[in-house]
């Protein structure tokens, strides 16, 4: 992973990292470096490993959604897309586009 970490810092572009404040994976998060371009790190306050875009506070959430829309070439709608709900019997958080 050292080579990936070096690449992120030296030449990573259009990267978005999302961590929960109490995510155990956050012990060794990726950090952006001087060579990173158009890349961002977000942390969900009080969040854990299941934190996602829609658990971010409103300001950072809107910024991340706008960035993803820009990267994808999708016109900004000004509103977050609706969450799809999990079906009965499914576990885990809801996901987009189901």
Is residue 24 situated within a structural domain? yes
Q: Is residue 28 part of a domain?
A: yes
Q: Nearest to residue 32, comparing CAs of 8, 16, 60?
A: 8
Range of the domain at 44: 2-72
For residue 94, being part of any structural domain is answered with no
Contact 68, 61 (CB under 8 A): no
pLDDT of 79 strictly over 90: no
pTM: predicted TM-score of the whole model, two decimal places: 0.74
- Helices and strands (DSSP H and E) totals, the chain: 2, 2
Return the closest-CA partner of residue 80 out of 56, 93, 62, 67: 62
Instruction: Please indicate, yes or no, if residue 92 is contained in any of the structural domains.
Output: no
pLDDT for the residue 48: 93
Within a domain: residue 39? Answer: yes
Q: What is the mean pLDDT of residues 11-36?
A: 91
pLDDT (0 to 100) of residue 76: 77
- C-alpha–C-alpha distance, residues 51 and 43, integer Å: 9
Residue 28, token pair as written in the block: 């060794």
Q: How many domains does the chain have?
A: 1
């Amino acid at each position: 992973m050292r080579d990936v970490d070096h690449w992120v810092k030296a030449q990573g572009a259009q990267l978005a990292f999302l961590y929960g404040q109490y995510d155990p994976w956050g012990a060794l998060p990726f950090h952006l470096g001087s060579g990173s371009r158009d890349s961002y790190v977000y942390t969900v306050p009080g969040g854990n490993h299941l934190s996602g875009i829609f658990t971010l506070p409103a300001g950072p959430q809107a910024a991340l959604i706008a960035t993803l829309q820009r990267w994808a070439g999708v016109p900004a709608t000004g509103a977050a897309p609706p969450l799809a709900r999990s079906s009965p019997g499914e576990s885990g958080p809801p996901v987009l586009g189901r």
